[in-house]
């Protein structure tokens, strides 16, 4: 790479985050941006080494993560290549964290951060409501490694204090949680862990890991409130269009080497084509999309809340929502405005849980067949509005008798708002509710 590469045009720190996310970093040591407007896709799994010495220096660089590498030497895609590396710089910037490492999927990212922070005999404290595959990872695989996961309701901080033991190594949660949108006070968790960590030496600290997928960095930056690490499924709101899978861990620079080593050896590497799409279309438009989706979600949540066939609506933007006040403290856009996200959780009325579940199924089946603006599908953060039934789809790993303790209603419906006109979505929902 040439040394006379163009440096950053000017100090851009006075521009809004909306603009800075759209344009990205206009200088990177990973690519010659003097001549490309959009980063090209790197389609090379391996890289020419001019000499054995260059190869040796490349491997040395991989082991020693420096602040700024003047002359990055790429060796092999699984170790690092320009598209992922540029995306990582921009994701760390968006989350206001020090460094980022991408993975093939959100689950790849979650298993990597948990993989480097835990070992046999350790304990993890996790919120009782989370993404189904994260629960599956903890329940189906961690017993093999003798890692114990204690689930508790972290919206009540007493539950955290009570469950900490000397074996505790990680506090893990989503806020808002998938699918029911529990909000956990990040600062309050930080405070409790700080007190506990004072008693521990450096090798034994407890780390806080937050899955920020539901918010995207536009609506919440947990590191600012005390999280050590943030993970994302890039497949969702950051990717934004439902075309590519990806995941990322963002956190302190000193862990970057371990995360890269884990990725290299376990192999969940983000493909260059996916990295390129997320870098080119997803991240630059996240502010634009989230803004519109929040506006629509607020309108739909308010509509649903008043509907006679609806039992209750969980949406952080609703004043009636029990976690509204906590959400207002930490779900903030880059200008500090309340940004309650684009996901709504709703439960239909019924005389008993079975009837409520049946009404939910009827409603969704009608939508699957008739609604133009709503699609029955898992995933979220998409340009299209997606609706799904957690108890039988994304959270089917949870046995029926455990649903209640995990605060998932048998008839709960998750709506992930897209970019359609809000009134069109409301009109489709209205017609679909009429048939119940
Ligand atoms: C989808 C999702 C994941 C997993 O991401 P994949 O990219 O599908 O592996 C993790 N956490 C949350 C909250 C999710 O919604």
> Tell me: the pLDDT tens digits for 121-164?
999 999 999 999 999 999 999 999 999 999 999 999 999 999 99
Q: CA–CA separation, 319 vs 299, rounded Å?
A: 13
Residues 6+ apart with CB under 8 A from 82: 30, 31, 39, 42, 74
Q: Which residues contact 30 (CB under 8 A, 6 or more apart)?
A: 72, 82, 85, 86, 89
Residue 72 Cα distances to 28, 208, 265, 291, 416, angstroms: 11, 31, 21, 37, 40
Distance (Å) from CA 215 to ligand 1 centroid: 12
Given phi > 0 = left and psi -120 to 50 = alpha, else beta, which region is 407? left
Would you place residue 5 in the very low, low, confident or very high pLDDT band (cuts 50, 70, 90)?
A: very low
Q: Which two tokens stand for residue 327?
A: 């959400």
Instruction: Give the containing element (helix H, strand E) for 149.
Output: strand 148-152
pLDDT tens-place string over residues 181-216: 999 999 999 999 999 999 999 999 999 999 999 999
Contact call for residues 315 and 342 (beta carbons, < 8 A): no
Q: How far is the CA of 41 from the centre of ligand 1 (A)?
A: 25
Q: Does residue 70 have a pLDDT over 70?
A: no
Measured in Å, residue 40 CA sits from the centre of ligand 1 at 27
Who contacts 337 (Cβ-Cβ below 8 Å, separation ≥6)? Answer: none
Strand partners, 343: 416
Residue from 233, 275, 386, 397 whose mutation best tests the ligand 1 pocket (most atoms within 8 A of CB): 233
| Confidence grade of residue 39 (pLDDT, cut at 50, 70, 90) | confident
For the segment 36-48, the average pLDDT, to the nearest whole number, is 88
Q: Which atom of ligand 1 is nearest to the CA of 379?
A: 1
The DSSP result for 49-96, as a single string, is: -SSHHHHHHHHHHHHS--S--SS----BTTT--HHHHHHHHHHHHHHT
Query: Looking at residue 63, what is its pLDDT?
Result: 67
Using a pLDDT cut of 90, give the percent of the chain over it: 77
Ligand 1 mean position, distance from CA 109 (Å): 9
| Ligand 1 centre distance from Cα of residue 179 (Å) | 11
Band of pLDDT at residue 396, cut at 50, 70 and 90: confident
H or E segment at 207?
strand 207-211
Distance CA 338, CA 328 (A): 6
Instruction: Give me the DSSP letters along 150-204.
Output: EEE-TTSHHHHHHH--TTEEEEEEESSPTTT-----HHHHHHHHHHHHTTS-GGG
**Residue of 213, 248, 408 with the most ligand 1 atoms within 8 Å of its CB, for mutation:** 213
Q: Cα of 237 to ligand 1 centre, how many Å?
A: 10
Please tell me the distance between residue 47's alpha carbon and the centre of ligand 1 in angstroms.
Answer: 32
Mutate to test the pocket of ligand 1, among 102, 103, 107, 229 (most ligand atoms within 8 A of CB): 107
What are the structural domains of the chain?
A: 16-282 (3.40.640.10), 287-433 (3.90.1150.10)
**And the tokens for 227?**
């999280």
pLDDT score, position 134: 97
Residue 214 Cα: closest atom of ligand 1: 13
Ligand 1, pocket residues at CB < 6 Å: 105-107, 131, 133-134, 174, 178, 211, 213-214, 233, 235-236, 245, 247
- Counting from 1 in the atom list of ligand 1, the atom nearest the Cα of 130 is 13
43: Cβ–Cβ under 8 A, 6 or more apart, which residues? Answer: 272, 273
- 3-state secondary structure at position 434: helix
Q: What is the mean pLDDT of the chain?
A: 92
According to the model, what pLDDT value does residue 34 have? 62
Q: Where are the beta strands (DSSP E) in 353-432?
A: 374-376, 385-388, 412-416
Q: Per-residue pLDDT for 4 more than 60?
A: no
Give the atom of ligand 1 at the shortest distance from the alpha carbon of 108: 9
Q: Predicted confidence band at 223 (pLDDT cuts at 50, 70, 90)?
A: very high
**Distant-in-sequence, close-in-space partners of 386: CB < 8 Å, separation ≥ 6:** 374, 375, 376, 377, 378, 379, 380, 415, 416, 418
Residues in Cβ contact with 225 at an 8 Å cutoff, skipping those fewer than 6 apart: 186, 187, 190, 330
What integer is the mean pLDDT of 20-28? Answer: 78
Q: Is 247 helix (H, G, I), strand (E, B) or coil?
A: strand
Among 110, 131, 248, 342, the mutation site with the greatest number of ligand 1 atoms within 8 A of its Cβ is 131
What does the block give as tokens for 133?
């595959």
- CA of 106 from ligand 1 middle (Å) equals 5
Q: How confident is the model at residue 7 (pLDDT cuts 50, 70, 90)?
A: low
pTM: 0.94
Q: For atom 6 of ligand 1, which residue has the closest CA? A: 106
Which runs of E-coded beta strand occur in 215-372? 229-233, 247-251, 310-314, 343-348
Which one of 104, 106, 275 would you pick to mutate in the ligand 1 pocket, going by the greatest count of ligand atoms within 8 A of its CB? Answer: 106
Nearest CA to ligand 1 atom 2: 233
Q: pLDDT tier at 1 (50, 70, 90 boundaries)?
A: very low
CA of 376 to the centre of ligand 1 (A): 17
Choose among 383, 372, 394: nearest CA to 236.
383
Q: Could you tell me how many residues make up the chain?
A: 436
Cα separations in angstroms, 192 against 94, 152, 159, 200, 207: 27, 15, 11, 13, 12
Residue 261 CA to ligand 1 center (angstroms) comes to 22
State the distance from the centre of ligand 1 to the C-alpha of 107, rounded, in angstroms: 6
User: What percentage of the chain reaches a pLDDT higher than 70?
Assistant: 95
Question: Do residues 335 and 385 lie in contact, with contact meaning Cβ atoms separated by under 8 Å?
Answer: no
Residue with the bigger pLDDT between 296 and 393: it is 296
pLDDT of residue 354: 85
pLDDT (average), residues 52-58 = 90
How far apart CA 31 and CA 279 sit, in angstroms, is: 14
Residue nearest to atom 5 of ligand 1 (CA): 106
Interval 274-326: pLDDT, tens: 999 999 999 999 999 999 999 999 999 999 999 999 999 999 999 999 999 99
Query: Per the structure block, which two tokens stand in for 276?
Result: 């390129």
CA atoms of 120 and 134, how far apart (whole Å) = 18
In the structure, what pLDDT confidence band is assigned to residue 352 with cuts at 50, 70 and 90? confident
More confident residue, 425 or 360: 425
Q: CA dihedral in degrees (38, 269, 118, 249; nearest 10)?
A: 10
pLDDT band at 66 (very low <50, low <70, confident <90, very high): low
Q: Which tens digits make up the pLDDT trace of 226-249?
A: 999 999 999 999 999 999 999 999
């Amino acid at each position: 790479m040439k040394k006379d590469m163009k440096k950053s045009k000017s100090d851009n720190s006075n521009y809004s985050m909306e603009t800075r996310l759209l344009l990205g970093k206009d200088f990177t040591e990973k690519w010659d941006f003097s001549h490309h407007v959009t980063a090209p896709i790197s389609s090379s799994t391996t890289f020419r080494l001019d000499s054995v010495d260059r190869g040796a220096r490349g491997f040395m660089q991989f082991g020693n993560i420096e602040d700024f590498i003047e002359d990055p030497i790429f060796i092999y895609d699984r170790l690092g290549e320009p598209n992922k590396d540029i995306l990582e710089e921009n994701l760390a910037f968006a989350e206001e964290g020090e460094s980022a490492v991408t993975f093939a999927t959100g689950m790849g990212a979650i298993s990597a951060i948990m993989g480097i922070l835990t070992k046999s005999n350790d304990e993890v404290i996790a919120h009782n409501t989370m993404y189904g595959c994260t629960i599956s990872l903890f329940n189906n695989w961690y017993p093999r490694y003798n890692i114990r996961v204690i689930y508790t309701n972290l919206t009540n901080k007493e539950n955290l204090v009570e469950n900490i033991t000397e074996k505790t190594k990680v506090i893990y949660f989503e806020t808002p949680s998938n699918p029911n949108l529990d909000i956990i006070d990040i600062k309050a968790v930080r405070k409790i862990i700080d007190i506990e960590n004072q008693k521990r030496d450096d090798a034994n600290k407890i780390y806080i890991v937050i899955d920020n997928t539901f918010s995207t960095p536009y609506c919440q930056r947990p590191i600012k409130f005390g999280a050590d690490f943030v993970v994302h499924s890039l497949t969702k709101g950051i990717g934004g269009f439902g075309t590519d899978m990806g995941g990322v861990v963002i956190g302190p620079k000193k862990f970057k080497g371990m995360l890269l080593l884990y990725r290299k050896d376990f192999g969940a590497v983000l493909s260059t084509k996916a990295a390129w799409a997320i870098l080119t279309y997803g991240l630059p438009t996240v502010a634009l999309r989230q803004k519109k989706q929040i506006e629509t979600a607020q309108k739909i949540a308010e509509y649903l809340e008043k509907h006679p066939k609806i039992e209750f609506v969980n949406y952080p933007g609703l004043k009636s929502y029990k976690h509204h006040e906590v959400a207002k403290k930490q779900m903030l856009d880059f200008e500090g405005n309340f940004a309650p996200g684009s996901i709504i959780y709703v439960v239909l009325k019924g005389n008993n849980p079975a009837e409520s579940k049946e009404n939910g199924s009827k409603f969704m089946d009608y939508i699957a067949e008739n609604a133009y603006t709503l699609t029955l599908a898992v995933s979220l953060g998409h340009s299209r509005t997606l609706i799904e039934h957690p108890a039988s789809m994304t959270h089917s790993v949870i046995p029926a008798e455990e649903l209640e303790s995990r605060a998932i209603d048998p008839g709960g419906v998750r709506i992930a708002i897209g970019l359609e006109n809000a009134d069109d979505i409301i009109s489709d929902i209205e017609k679909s509710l009429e048939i119940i």
